[in-house]
Amino acid sequence: MNEEQELRVKRIENGTVIDHINAGQALNVLKILGIPDSSQGVVSVLLNSPGKFGIKDVVKIENRELNVREVDKIALIAPNATINIIRNFNVSQKKKVHIPTFVEGVVRCVNPNCISNSNEPVTSKFDVSVEESLRLRCTYCGRSISEDIAKHLL
């Protein structure tokens, strides 16, 4: 982020900055992270911020690092996002999210008659492909989700 943007949103001492979120997806990222309930630190959200490749959203969370499942979920709705771990005002780790090839317990199947939507002791499982566009295919019933993935996140 450049200086002008830093003035808009204060730097954080410790925590996570999720940058390059597809414009319009920041609120879904907050939903994935269970914010505000799961975080007591300050959370800053930047919407429609100009970036090198067009507008983007940015989320800064104080005193919180993300787990693998949260990162997998973010990758599904913001495949270009970067996760920056901030320690002592410095970026101690910077990594791009990777779209996983398989997700478990992350998305609910859209098929109401899918066995994964019943009271069976299983979590949802999806194979993820990115051939033409991002597509999740249910391991149980084979139904695909390719649009509004955020809407189906667990």
**Does 18 belong to an annotated binding site?**
no
What does the block give as tokens for 14? 């410790």
Contacts with 45 (C-beta within 8 Å, 6 or more apart), sequence order: 26, 27, 30, 57, 58, 59, 60
Interface region with another protein, contact rule CB under 8 A, candidates 26-34, 59-67, 78-86, 138-146: 138-146
- Residue 96-125 contact track with another protein, rule CB under 8 A, x = bound: ---------------x-xxxx-xxxxx---
Q: Is 109 annotated as ligand-binding?
A: yes
129 is a site residue for another protein (CB under 8 A): no
Q: Which of 23, 139, 152, 153 binds another protein (CB under 8 A)?
A: 139
Instruction: Give the alpha-carbon dihedral of 129, 126, 78, 98, to 10 degrees.
Output: -70
| CB of 75 vs another protein, minimal distance in Å | 24
**Coil, strand or helix: which one is 70?**
helix
141 is in an annotated binding site: yes
